[in-house]
Amino acid sequence: MQPKEIIELLRSEPSLHPVSISGWVRSFRSNRFIALNDGSTIKNLQCVVDFENFEEDILAKVTVGAAIQVEGHLVESQGQGQTVEIQVSKITILGEADPEEVKLTILSPKRHTLEKLREQAHLRVRTNTFGAVMRLRSKLAFAVHEYFQKNGFNYMHTPIITGSDAEGAGEMFRVSGLDPKNPPLDENGAINYKEDFFGKETNLTVSGQLEAETYAMGLGKVYTFGPTFRAENSNTSRHLAEFWMIEPEVAFNDLNDNMDLAEDFIKYVLQYALDNCQDDLEFLENRLLQEEKSKPQSERSEMNLRDKLSFVLDNNFKRVSYTEAIDILKNSKPNKKKKFKYLIEEWGADLQSEHERFLVEKHFKCPVILFDYPAKIKAFYMRLNEDEKTVRAMDVLFPGIGEIVGGSQREERYDVLKSKMKAMDISEEELSWYLDLRKFGTCVHSGFGLGFERLVLFVTGMGNIRDVIPYPRTPGNADF
């Protein structure tokens, strides 16, 4: 007997051939109907038991959460909600689940809050919502690779332990092998990192960009897709201390090419989800509709989940310069009525997520790419414009999310880069290898970073970034 997956069985025709299938019990009604799920699909397989012919002590162990194997054959379903079901001839209990203990967990069949599910993150993938989110996450990751591989990019693994601060923002987690209770000290009484494992100070990477640039200067088109770490104390529904970032980097691309790439890439991945994740998207769409019912009419979304994805696919991202955006924001209602927490007074202000969301959700009502930001509020590596005030930066802003992509054309001129680093107090010694790129065949090049979890948030319609990664790391929380 060939065991199969439920997703396959549900697509099969009724047959007299015996089948065998394993999964976890979602429910057992009337001592007759077992809803079995094996994770291959959001749908459960209905297994019908002729209880008069079964040993009672086996049936007693068919409880919510238990792992079982059923044998039987596939018949046309008499009930509603499925076309086929299994007429069970044999049940093997693989792993029991004590109902008294299950009652105390999120496996118990009632509505649990997302916060409660987070506390039991090791069990939450057994719920419909997390099963759907995590299957989508996996599919989206595949689509990311497919897009770049189809388009001639080389997948590059950048180091996780680095000595440099790619963003120059100082938000790094230290990596050290020193004994924290008794570290070696130098003559000034400071910790002597020369005696540490790597003989220098090291940290977890905040971005693979600088290393990706070196490889773009030889392979032409590269991308990274890996974990990145930020020790920023942002306790929001959009920030994680450990998140996955996708960073393409392309030689000879300018900022316009970079914007084209970001838009094309995002659209490809969204289309992939629509084409390949129908059942999970449908479930999440209905979940969202239910959730929205508890909100006042004015706060409810005008579009359902799949319409929102299609809308992004069908429309061009609106490209707007920072300067234009500041004008819009300055004259906007929430600014004039002092509704923004951070009022926009003048050119040069850093945009907060309330401003980004105003532009996207209220003003343009579509994804927006903002470009040419003030040099002062952006990282050292971005290319300085002729005006010497702005840099060739771009951020892609999404409805409900805010910034989903940050990128730029890179400063390829040796002298300009060097003086920018100096002005921003970035160690030339630590980044000499990065400066070298500008000495040996430098050229125009560009890239961006997309926060994978923010993409998963958008596609799944979930509201909190902690609910789209298996084990979220946030300030004060590294459980599991």
Interface with Mg ion by CB under 5 A: which residues? 406
DSSP string computed for 103-137: TTSTTSSS---HHHHHHTTTTGGGSHHHHHHHHHH
Residue 4 CB, nearest approach to ligand 4AD (Å): 38
| CA-based max dimension of the chain | 85
Give the whole-angstrom CA distance, residue 113 versus residue 117.
6
Cβ count near 365 (within 10 Å): 14
The correct pick among 10, 172, 204, 240 for binding ligand 4AD (CB under 6 A) is 240
Residue 193 CB, nearest approach to ligand 4AD (Å): 25
Residue 364 CB, nearest approach to ligand 4AD (Å): 18
Q: What is the pattern of x (binds ligand 4AD, CB under 6 A) and - over residues 245-284?
A: x-x-------------------------------------
The correct pick among 23, 72, 168, 406 for binding ligand 4AD (CB under 6 A) is 406
DSSP state of 350: P
Residue 393 CB, nearest approach to Mg ion (Å): 9
335: which 2 tokens?
A: 């600014």
Give the whole-angstrom CA distance, residue 85 versus residue 75.
6
Binding segment toward ligand 4AD, per CB under 6 A, in 43-51, 235-243, 269-277, 354-362: 235-243
Question: 451 or 461: whose CB is closer to ligand 4AD?
Answer: 451
Q: What is the pattern of x (binds ligand 4AD, CB under 6 A) and - over residues 386-405?
A: -----------------xxx
For 156, phi then psi, to 5°, come to -120, 135
Residue 206 CB, nearest approach to ligand 4AD (Å): 6
176: which 2 tokens?
A: 């050290």
Q: Are 447 and 249 in contact (CB under 8 A)?
A: yes
Q: Are 202 and 164 in contact (CB under 8 A)?
A: no
For 54, phi then psi, to 5°, come to -115, 145
Pairing of strands 390-398, 402-409: antiparallel
Among positions 422-441, residues that touch ligand 4AD (CB under 6 A) are: none
Question: 28 or 229: whose CB is closer to ligand 4AD?
Answer: 229
- ∠ CA 157-162-163 to the nearest 5 degrees? 150
The correct pick among 280, 411, 453, 467 for binding ligand 4AD (CB under 6 A) is 453
Q: Are 191 and 184 in contact (CB under 8 A)?
A: yes
The correct pick among 23, 168, 451, 472 for binding ligand 4AD (CB under 6 A) is 451
From 78, 86, 76, select the one nearest 6 (Cα to Cα): 86
Question: 6 or 382: whose CB is closer to ligand 4AD?
Answer: 382
Number of residues that bind ligand 4AD (CB under 6 A): 23
Question: 91 or 379: whose CB is closer to Mg ion?
Answer: 379
Question: 129 or 209: whose CB is closer to ligand 4AD?
Answer: 209
370: which 2 tokens?
A: 């903002």
Question: 197 or 342: whose CB is closer to Mg ion?
Answer: 342
State the binding partner of 454 from Mg ion, ligand 4AD, none, CB within 5 to 8 A by kind.
ligand 4AD
Amino acid at 95: G
